[in-house]
Amino acid sequence: MRIAFLMAHEGVEQIEFTRPWEALSQTGETPQVISTRPGSVQAFNHLDKAGTFPVDQTAAEASPDDFDALVLPGGVANPDALRMDADAVAFARSFFEAGKPVAAICHAPWTLIEADVVRGRTLTSWPSLATDLRNAGATWVDEPVVVCDAQPATLVTSRKPDDLPQFIEGMTRVFTAYNPAA
């Protein structure tokens, strides 16, 4: 299974990227970094620069048809930049249109609000997004992980780095159950 990790060129919370990446890689999945710019992604540990990670493709050149699932890591700056990039927003929206599973943690649902795919869904996020999500038509709950099976795509959301074990378990379960041939 090929999984896209969509991130801006900087601002992603490193642990919200690396822990899901490692977990999916260990199950035999093939993750790839899709970003708004070529080169590398500058990750952060909260407000401090952390590692850099090579970009496999830009959102403008990547085809959602080449992927089976999407992961949206958080960080404050990352989804804020993604939601201002039309190609990134379209890339994220396409997974919902195709009925492919999506996982988003922390501030990442900002990108989903811009893609207009949260209406009628129940999800969680970093608490400061609760009003934004409600205004976009979602039901926000304060839980470590929420799996929303609203059609056409299953959405897994989580609040923060402390919830990574639950997020990874929910994401892995949903991605494993997804049958692209169905």
Q: Which residues are catalytic?
A: 106
DSSP-assigned states of every residue in the chain: -EEEEEE-SEEEEHHHHHHHHHHHHHTT-EEEEEESSSSEEEEEETTEEEEEEE-SEETTT--GGG-SEEEE---SHHHHHHTT-HHHHHHHHHHHHTT--EEEETTTHHHHHHTT--TT-EE---GGGHHHHHHTTPEE---SEEEE--TT--EEEE-SGGGHHHHHHHHHHHHHH--TT-
Return the residue matching tokens 């608490």.
127
Contact status, residue 90 vs residue 111, Cβ threshold 8 Å: no
Pairwise CA distance, residues 132 & 58, whole Å: 27
Pairwise CA distance, residues 34 & 153, whole Å: 20
